[in-house]
Amino acid sequence: MINLINKTTFDYKLEKAALLIKKLTGICINDSKKNLLITRLSRVAMRFYGFNSLEPYLDLILNNPTRKDILILIDAITTNKTDFFREPKHYQFLLNSALPDLLSRKPNISIWSAGCSSGQEPYTLSILLTEYKSKNPGFDFIIYATDISIKMLKQAVRAVYPYSEISSIEPKYKKDYFLYKRDGDALFVRPVPEVRQKIVFRRLNLFTEYFPYGKVDIIFCRNVMIYFDPNDRLYLLRKFSDALNLGGYLFIGHSETVPKSLKEFKQVSPTVYQKQE
């Protein structure tokens, strides 16, 4: 267990750590998340540094952290919840509405999976678009997948998942788009090379960096803005607008919204927005 000594000083340092995290990532940690912050930082203090209390770790990150220390801190504080084919209505809208609209204007599309975590979202997109490509000669696509967490990106590039993660998806996708391997009693899957090679993975801090690949036609950024305060959400949405081609689509999480004051986005479906003039 972590021992919390000199509680007044500790609370002050914890508050400064929360401000540092917000400065680095945009993630807003309020009083209701204080215990979560303590739990996550305590794990890092013990696992990576061997501290038997949290306060020396707070001193380290507040006074003289290295780049490695900062990256470990960011990995510890980010939440990474994702699944294959998560929120299927988004994918239905993509295939039935957004894609036909975009392809009426151009033969190829580019997608940005922002906050891709361990890769299930961009691999789902690649599976669906690879399937679409097989039925539509001349169509092509590229997916840029970014995340702030190096740990998650390593998992995404490795692309090996327990079979349980795809057990409930359509049999066709399980059959055509995954490789299977047993390790003892455990069964693991990996997307086929044709799916993997359509994705470019890169570490990117949405809050402090700009998208480096030019404009895209579609952005998926789901359940990321819920960790930002209102002003920072607006800042991020404007960055998304800058990265989208005119007529492009933004997909966000079902607990997120785009303010009506942001006139460049028009809602075209629940949690789906199109960039306007």
pLDDT of residue 7: 60
Q: Beta strands 186-191 and 265-269: pairing type?
A: unpaired
pLDDT digits (tens, 9 = 90+) for 13-63: 888 998 998 888 888 887 778 888 898 899 989 988 999 889 999 999 999
Q: Beta strands 108-114 and 140-147: pairing type?
A: parallel
Rounded to two decimals, the pTM is 0.88
pLDDT of residue 32: 75
Walk me through the domains of the chain, giving residue ranges and CATH numbers. Answer: 7-77 (1.10.155), 88-159+191-275 (3.40.50.150)
Q: Where are the alpha helices (DSSP H) in 197-251?
A: 230-243
Partner residues linked to 199 by β-bridges: 143
Closest CA to 199 of 161, 253, 170, 158: 158
Higher-pLDDT residue of 78, 83: 83
pLDDT of residue 10: 83
pLDDT digits (tens, 9 = 90+) for 225-272: 888 888 999 999 999 999 999 999 999 999 899 998 899 999 999 999
CB contact at 8 A, 220 and 94: no
Task: Average the pLDDT over 92-116 and give the result.
Answer: 96
Closest CA to 272 of 19, 264, 257, 42: 257
Mean pLDDT, rounded, of the chain: 92
pLDDT of residue 1: 39
Determine the Cα–Cα distance for residues 48 and 71; give it in Å rounded to an integer: 12
Dihedral Cα 123, 128, 129, 130, nearest 10 deg: 80
DSSP string, 86-137: -SHHHHHHIIIIIHHHHHTT-SEEEEEEET-TTTHHHHHHHHHHHHHHHHST
Closest CA to 277 of 251, 256, 248, 257: 248
pLDDT of residue 77: 83
Determine the Cα–Cα distance for residues 183 and 170; give it in Å rounded to an integer: 24
Task: Average the pLDDT over 110-126 and give the result.
Answer: 97
Task: Average the pLDDT over 152-171 and give the result.
Answer: 95
Higher-pLDDT residue of 274, 6: 274
φ, ψ of residue 80 to 5 degrees: the values are -130, 90
